[in-house]
């Protein structure tokens, strides 16, 4: 059978859905709602839409202050997306494929933003009163975070049956 099996196809489909939903919501914020930078729309007592531009990567680190840095971030994140894709196509464990597909879909959504605008459009503002446990984020960021948590949890806490069989005494 080819390298693309049913779990991998499901992973690629999940990545495509994450990418599409992320881009759709960003279009909603940017084009349909015409939100301006810093503008907030109150939705729920604990969740608002607040438009911000992230010129860096995770938590605003490595801010791109020049066109060269912007394109460098595009290239680095695209290289990471390629590595994640190759890893996903070689992976056998379904939960690892799901985690990798979340990372891939989110990465592609943020790469497209950085390519088109020079920044990533963030809008999800979760808060408890004035307390904000997270920076403002987007669906792509959430998918990447959940995917990384799945991969780390599986790596740290879950052993495959094959490993258990190898460590048991004969």
- Residues annotated as catalytic are 122, 141
CB 26 within 8 A of CB 121: yes
Write the CA distances from 4 to 12, 19, 68, 89, integer angstroms: 10, 20, 36, 7
Question: What is the DSSP secondary-structure string of 31-52?
Answer: IIS-PPTT-EEEEETTEEEEEE
Cβ atoms of 70 and 114 within 8 Å: the answer is: yes
Yes or no: say if 143 and 22 are a contact pair by the CB < 8 Å rule: yes
Rounded CA gap, 42 and 51, in Å? Answer: 12
Residues 96 and 154: beta-carbon distance below 8 Å: yes
Return the DSSP state at 59. G
């Amino acid at each position: 059978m080819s390298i693309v099996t049913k779990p991998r196809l499901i992973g690629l489909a999940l990545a495509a859905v994450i990418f599409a939903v992320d881009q759709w919501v960003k279009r909603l914020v940017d084009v349909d709602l015409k939100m301006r930078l810093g503008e907030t729309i109150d939705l729920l007592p604990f969740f608002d839409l607040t438009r911000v531009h992230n010129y860096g990567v995770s938590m605003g680190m490595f801010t791109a202050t020049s066109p060269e840095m912007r394109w460098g971030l595009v290239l680095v994140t695209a290289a990471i997306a390629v590595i994640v894709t190759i890893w996903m196509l070689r992976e056998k464990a379904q939960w690892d494929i799901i985690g990798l597909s979340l990372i891939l879909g989110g990465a592609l959504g943020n790469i497209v933003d950085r390519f088109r605008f020079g920044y990533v459009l963030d809008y999800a503002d979760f808060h408890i009163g004035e307390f904000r446990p997270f920076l403002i984020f987007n669906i792509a960021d959430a998918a990447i975070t959940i995917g990384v948590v799945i991969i780390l949890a599986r790596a740290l806490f879950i052993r495959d049956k094959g490993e258990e069989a190898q460590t048991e005494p004969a």
